[in-house]
Amino acid sequence: MFKVNDNYLKLPGSYLFSTVGKKSRAYQAANPEKQVISLGIGDVTQPLAPAIIEALHRAVDEMGDAKTFRGYAPDLGYEFLRNAIAKNDYADRGCRIEADEIFVSDGAKCDSSNIQEIFGLDNKIAVCDPVYPVYVDSNVMAGRTGTYDAATGMWSDVIYMPCTADNGFAPELPEKTPDLIYLCFPNNPTGATVTKAQLQEWVDYANKVGAVIIYDAAYEAYISEENVPHSIYECEGARTCAIELKSFSKNAGFTGTRLGYTVIPKELKSADVSLHALWARRHGTKYNGAPYIVQRAGEAVYSPEGKAQLKEQVKYYMDNAKIILEGLKEAGYCVSGGVNAPYIWLKTPEKMTSWEFFDYLLENANVVGTPGSGFGPSGEGYFRLTAFGSRENTIAAVERIKRI
Amino acid sequence: MFKVNDNYLKLPGSYLFSTVGKKSRAYQAANPEKQVISLGIGDVTQPLAPAIIEALHRAVDEMGDAKTFRGYAPDLGYEFLRNAIAKNDYADRGCRIEADEIFVSDGAKCDSSNIQEIFGLDNKIAVCDPVYPVYVDSNVMAGRTGTYDAATGMWSDVIYMPCTADNGFAPELPEKTPDLIYLCFPNNPTGATVTKAQLQEWVDYANKVGAVIIYDAAYEAYISEENVPHSIYECEGARTCAIELKSFSKNAGFTGTRLGYTVIPKELKSADVSLHALWARRHGTKYNGAPYIVQRAGEAVYSPEGKAQLKEQVKYYMDNAKIILEGLKEAGYCVSGGVNAPYIWLKTPEKMTSWEFFDYLLENANVVGTPGSGFGPSGEGYFRLTAFGSRENTIAAVERIKRI
């Protein structure tokens, strides 16, 4: 008789954003006359930029002609895209990353959940708390996290690095030594970042203890301050300890178009085993490439027109962030984030739990946000709003929140 | 110090098709004047059908307009596509599969390698031998296959079901009882199929011993004979023992466009645990949906125009199959397949090994095929050619093979 993967049964509840979606759909169904505004899931609302649309149309035409039709993509992704990434995201910032150290994928969510597969089950992981739930959940599914304590919301074999108001939402080096360290800056959900000097400390620490940093830079495009690093490879020594994950979802609106990439420098090794080779093997065996037309769309992100148009798009969302940040401050909320990230992190009023505030906001303001506790135990008592709505909805949501 | 996943180190060599690609590229580089024809990797060459191109352009335009822009897709895939699949691939064939039992993905390769993740590590797998290498390789990576014996090319904990000329390339029920049974009909690489009565025996067996059949129907569109089932759900009792994987790569030319789906009926359970729920959790946590524009392209596959155009496309490739099959017969080769599948399976002449024949064919006819031994130990002494080339290349390749 077949046996299921018991680790799945340890997962409490369903995936955070599925639950948020279900609750808001249920409310809308019960109250069809209400206009619910979602600032919950971090999904973009602006259309793809004209340069990207043009690139997509051109690539579609190529797929309709036998002379230019493309079948299976190269294992690592098309060179035209990897070259554009290597130049724009790395060389132009003074980071040494070769095009063949870049693995094109269908998005950072997949990469951030799949990357743990190339590591043994006996590695100890460390995560910021709160953080994007996929890091922990994918390790739970693999069986790397021990047992769950419902009272604390913590896994016995996970090292939690609290990011709280006390430390400015920047984690401190952990007391226990981890093998894999997930860092996400600008952080989802807090919107907080670290300086280059702070990140250098993490790189030095990882090299010292022999840990790998899995660095999720999905929100890099929203960095507005000078001393915040755009890539972990800006730090010295990162090539021997860091994997970087990038997404096209937030800088170019690809949440429904799907594109991302992972960087694994060739120096990153355990004894003689190269992580680059292991990931290449996984990519070749368990994946089959992002669509050609989508890789061409990704290339257009780096064209002069694409860059100019996307700068405007990022500004649009960051103006939303400012509206939320200032509006909530006026309404007396304790808020942070929203300066180097499209997320606003607020303390729930009157000691409400995160889910109590979710219901309160949904029922009284018809606004959907994301409960901070869904991102980890230290997120309890906090709440995340995103700047990815339309201007109109953002203004309306803030007005409604002010009124309650 | 971090530890790698040691299971990866057990994998012999690299992924089969990566090796084939590397060898043929090396030959071409060393012999730039030669015109190498690839009938190796099962990659299509005909452009996307006009109905699909139109659907892609329409969807691209939607993505460029804020009113019709789409962000994250629903977890299971868009309803418009799942409804089209449920109707055309199941209801119209008399199979009861609901739209919410279908999980849209970026292709059957990913699904066939990921599906093992929802099962425990102590399940015993059974595979046809030879077969598509991803089933075994993904289980090796997970640690489910024991140790590799280089002399026999076999894993100690895998049940091999030889498909040889003796049994008409149709596997027999195994002596040891498996928990997970991978079946692929029409088979890759042999091109062989089973009748509905034969498949019913497998379904009855799986229900009796409590095994799950993972049924890969990627080549279903190439079935030309009446008594060959297009779906395992044509068999009685399949809803309690079978998962079905489907691809858009071969019936619609989506190898570079990426789309597939997995069906898990809700009755498929271990004790009280539903495999549908586990896969939904995996999908929600480790995946983020196929691109909207690609899902619209998938919908067009089921439109009246799409169906008519793809029928022609399949016929084109099957005419190629006939040319290869008859040409090789004339040349004195012992061949099979090519009737319900786009693959021709040939016995290597003069007791050459599969890789010897690969080199022989590459050097003397400048034709690339795939060594049968790459698909499993019983594939040794066999060789696979695909019908996915252009007509011109197919004819030229057959002429060259005849000449040597």
Residue B41: per-residue pLDDT: 82
Q: Which residues of B touch A386 (CB under 8 A)?
A: none
Chain B: residue nearest A252 by CA?
B71
Put simply, the answer to whether B285 touches A138 (Cβ < 8 Å) is yes
Put simply, the answer to whether B284 touches A71 (Cβ < 8 Å) is no
Residue A234: per-residue pLDDT: 98
- Tell me the whole-structure pTM to 2 decimals: 0.97
Interface probe for B, chosen from A6, A11, A45, A72 (most Cβ of B below 10 Å), is A72
A347 to chain B nearest CA, in Å? 27
**Angle at CA of residue B109, ends A19 and B166, nearest 5°:** 135
Taking each helix axis from N to C end, the angle separating B292-301 and B50-63, rounded to the nearest 10 degrees, works out to: 150
Residue A300: per-residue pLDDT: 98
E strand segments, B220-351: 242-247, 260-263, 269-270, 273-274, 335-337, 343-347
Chain A: residue nearest B55 by CA?
A60
**Residues B126, B161: contact at Cβ < 8 Å?**
yes
B128 to chain A nearest CA, in Å? 18
Residue A16: per-residue pLDDT: 81
Residue B42: per-residue pLDDT: 83
Q: Three-class SS of residue A389?
A: coil
Put simply, the answer to whether B69 touches A57 (Cβ < 8 Å) is no
Chain B: residue nearest A133 by CA?
B285
**Residues A323, A389: contact at Cβ < 8 Å?**
no
Residue B400: per-residue pLDDT: 97
Quick one: which of B303, B244, B288, B305 has its CA closest to B81?
B303
**How far apart, in whole angstroms, are the C-alpha atoms of residue A210 and residue B152?**
38
Put simply, the answer to whether A179 touches B50 (Cβ < 8 Å) is no
A135 to chain B nearest CA, in Å? 9
CA B144, B147, B150, B151 torsion-angle sign: negative
Residue A13: per-residue pLDDT: 75
Tokens 């649009």 — which residue?
A: A316
Report the run of H or E that residue A274 belongs to, with start and end: strand A273-274
**Residues B247, B254: contact at Cβ < 8 Å?**
yes
| Share of residues in chain B with pLDDT > 90 (%) | 96
Put simply, the answer to whether A210 touches B1 (Cβ < 8 Å) is yes
* pLDDT at residue B12 tops 90: no
Q: Residue A43 is nearest to which of B14, B50, B72, comparing CB atoms?
A: B72
Residue B389: per-residue pLDDT: 95
Q: Which two tokens stand for residue A44?
A: 């973009």
Q: Which residues of B touch A278 (CB under 8 A)?
A: 4-5, 8
Put simply, the answer to whether A64 touches B50 (Cβ < 8 Å) is yes
Put simply, the answer to whether B293 touches A114 (Cβ < 8 Å) is no
Q: List, for residues A327-343, the tens digit of each pLDDT value.
A: 999 999 999 999 999 99
The radius of gyration of chain A's CA atoms, rounded to the nearest angstrom, is 21
**Residues A290, A73: contact at Cβ < 8 Å?**
yes
Distance, first Cα to last Cα, chain B: 56
Q: Which residues of B touch A137 (CB under 8 A)?
A: 285
State the DSSP string of A331-379: TT--EEE-SSSSEEEEEPGGG--HHHHHHHHHHHH-EE-EEGGGG-GGG
**How far apart, in whole angstroms, are the C-alpha atoms of residue A276 and residue B102?**
34
Phi, psi torsion values for A237, nearest 5 degrees: 90, 0
Put simply, the answer to whether A4 touches B258 (Cβ < 8 Å) is no
Q: Mean pLDDT over residues B100-123, rounded?
A: 98
Flag residues of chain A having pLDDT under 50: none
Tokens 């409310």 — which residue?
A: A27
Q: List, for residues B280-327, the tens digit of each pLDDT value.
A: 999 999 999 999 999 999 999 999 999 999 999 999 999 999 999 999
Interface probe for A, chosen from B100, B213, B250, B286 (most Cβ of A below 10 Å), is B286
B276-287: string of b/e by CB count within 10 Å (b at 16+)?
bbbbbbbbbbbb
Put simply, the answer to whether B47 touches A66 (Cβ < 8 Å) is yes
What's the ipTM?
Answer: 0.96
Q: Which residues of B touch A272 (CB under 8 A)?
A: none
Q: B154: pLDDT confidence band, cut at 50, 70 and 90? A: very high
Put simply, the answer to whether A273 touches B179 (Cβ < 8 Å) is no
Chain B: residue nearest A209 by CA?
B1
Note the residue count of chain A.
Answer: 404
Q: Mean pLDDT over residues B371-396, rounded?
A: 96
Count interface pairs A-B at CB distance under 8 A: 242
Q: Mean pLDDT over residues B148-162, rounded?
A: 96
Q: Which residues pair with B244 in a beta bridge?
A: B215, B263
How many CB atoms neighbour CB A66 within 10 A? 9
Residue B17: per-residue pLDDT: 81
Q: Residue B18 is nearest to which of A15, A75, A179, comparing CB atoms?
A: A75
| Exposed / middle / buried, residue B108 (Cβ in 10 Å: 0-12, 13-18, 19+) | buried
Q: Three-class SS of residue B288?
A: coil
All residues at 6 or more sequence positions from B248 whose CB lies less than 8 Å from its CB, including other chains: B107, B254, B257, B259, B260, B298, B301
A222 to chain B nearest CA, in Å? 19
Q: Which residues of A touch B44 (CB under 8 A)?
A: 71
